[in-house]
Amino acid sequence: MASPNALLKVQDLSASVEDAQILHNVNLEIDRGQCAVLMGPNGAGKSTLGHVIMGDGAYTVDGGSITFDGEDVTELSADKRSLAGIFLSYQAPVEIPGIPLYSFLRTICQKRPELKMSARAFRQRVRELAKELDMDPSYLTRELNVGFSGGEKKKVEMLQLLLLEPKLAILDETDSGLDVDALGIVSRGIETYRRECGGALLIITHNTRILERVAVDKVAVMVDGSIVEHGGPSLIETIDEQGFEAYETGGEA
C-alpha cells in the first residue's frame, strides 16, 4: 500500500540504454524526510536507477512510471526535475574548464526563484558553507572540478546540495575513493542537509562505510536490475556480514 507521505514513487520501472535493458520492473518508494539506501553488487543497475529518476537522456524508459511530489515526472527532462527539487550527486563529477566554481554556483541558484538573493548575501552564504565543509575559499575562484581531488569534488557536490536545498538528494557512490577525513566531511554535509533542509535521501552504494555515519530509515537491495529485498536498517548489518552472494544466487539472506 502506498504511503500517503510518499515523496518519490517508482512503479514497475523498466529502462534501457542502447537497446540493452538494465532495469526490470523496479518498485521503490521514499517518504518525505526519509533516508533510503539502495545497495547491491557492482553492475547491479543502482546508478542507472539514480540517473533514470533524474531524467538522464541517455536512458530510455521502457515501462512503468516515476511520481515525484505528487506529479508524474516520467516524461520530464532533467532540468525540469531539478527545478522540481531532485538532485543527483554523480559518482564521477565532471570537470568543466573555463567556468569558475563561484560563477557556476551563482548561476544554478539564480535558476531557482526561491533561492534568489543579493550578490552579497549569496557570497556570504557560500563562504559559510565552504567553511562548514572545510573547503579552502580559494577553490571558489578555480575552474569547476578542474584539478580537484576526488574528495574535493565530493565537497563541491555537498556545497551544491546545501545551496540548492532539494526535496530529494540522490547520492551515487558518494563514498567512492574517499579517505577517512573526506568521508567525515561528506557525512557532516549529509547531516546538515537533513537537519536544515529536511529533505529526503537516496544513498546508492555497494559498501557500508558511509552508512555507519548516517541514520538510515529503509534499505533496498538490487541485483541484475531488479530490487530483490526491502528491509530496515538491520539489513545493512546482514549485508556487511554476508555480502550479496545469497541475493545473487537467488537464496535467502
User: Which residues, at least 6 apart from 127, have a Cβ–Cβ distance to it below 8 Å?
Assistant: 137, 140
Alpha carbons within 13 angstroms on the beta-carbon side of residue 156 total: 28
Residues in the chain: 253
Q: What is the full per-residue pLDDT of the chain (253 aa) written as tens digits?
A: 457 789 999 999 999 999 899 999 999 999 999 999 999 998 999 999 999 999 999 999 999 999 999 999 999 999 999 999 999 988 777 888 999 999 999 998 888 888 888 889 999 999 999 988 888 888 899 998 888 887 888 888 899 999 999 999 999 987 776 778 778 888 888 999 999 899 999 999 887 778 888 899 999 999 999 999 999 999 999 998 888 888 876 544 3
Residue 171: what residue type?
L
* Domain map (residue ranges) of the chain: 6-91+167-248
CATH of the structural domain 6-91+167-248, one choice from 3.40.710.10, 3.40.50.620, 3.65.10.10, 3.40.50.300: 3.40.50.300
The model carries a pTM of: 0.90
- Amino acid occupying residue 219: V
